[in-house]
Amino acid sequence: MANFAFSDLHGNLDAWRAIQERTSPSDRLFCLGDVADRGPDGYLMLREILADPRITYIKGNHDDLFVNGVLENDHENFIHWVYRCGGQPTFDGWRADGCPIRILEKLRSTPTREVLVTKMGLMLLSHAGYTPRKVALTSLSDDDFLWDRDHFSDPWELGARKIFVVHGHTPVDCGYFGRVPIEPHFYCEGHKVCIDLGTYRTDVCALLNLDNLEYEVIRV
């Protein structure tokens, strides 16, 4: 059995199928959010991933927009999700499936962060990422775990302690990291790693082994 993480597939069905081929029934998988919208197959993927007993789903900001837009009748969030986040194909898929509320309720109930102990140490998993400090993170809210990017400039205060932060949310070839090869971005002295490879437009995703922090870059 191995522990793996992936993130931000955004409707790219080929990427999801490739991850399925590379993992076994005994593995434990952590999806760091934003499976749906942008690409054409987001709703199908969302249904499959939420139903996969191997997978712990960690909510992303696009997931939150979808849920709030529909279940909370939040018109502003819904319009933003459809027109700025490419949510129309996912919404159409949900409607064609009979508008099952249980799918959205299950997505709404997913956590915004998880903690996993592996051979490497303590893995702190969330969609947007954050920086653990010597004092408690009492000031952080769910919105921070879903949306924040300010933490990229934080210093690492915990020295060589075996604590690692794994997240998505920000494609590694964007301005936060400069022009870099399409592969996971390790920073904060190697204690933080972003695994969002902009899959919806690059057809590239990362499968990170949380037991050793080795990864495979999958091109579909």
The edge-to-edge listing of strands for the beta sheet with 3-6 is: 55-57, 28-31, 3-6, 204-209, 215-219
Strand duo 28-31 + 55-57: pairing: parallel
Task: Give me the domains of the chain, ranges plus CATH numbers.
Answer: 3-219 (3.60.21.10)
Q: Full-prediction pTM beyond 0.75?
A: yes
Distance (Å, whole) CA 35 – CA 103: 13
Distance (Å, whole) CA 26 – CA 31: 16
- Write out the chain's pLDDT in tens, 220 residues: 999 999 999 999 999 999 999 999 999 999 999 999 999 999 999 999 999 999 999 999 999 999 999 999 899 999 999 999 999 999 999 999 999 999 999 999 999 999 999 999 999 999 999 999 866 667 789 999 999 999 999 999 999 999 999 999 999 876 666 656 689 999 999 999 999 999 998 999 999 999 999 999 999 9
Please compute, for residue 161, the number of CA atoms within 13 A of its CA located in the half-sphere on the CB side. 13
Distance (Å, whole) CA 4 – CA 206: 10
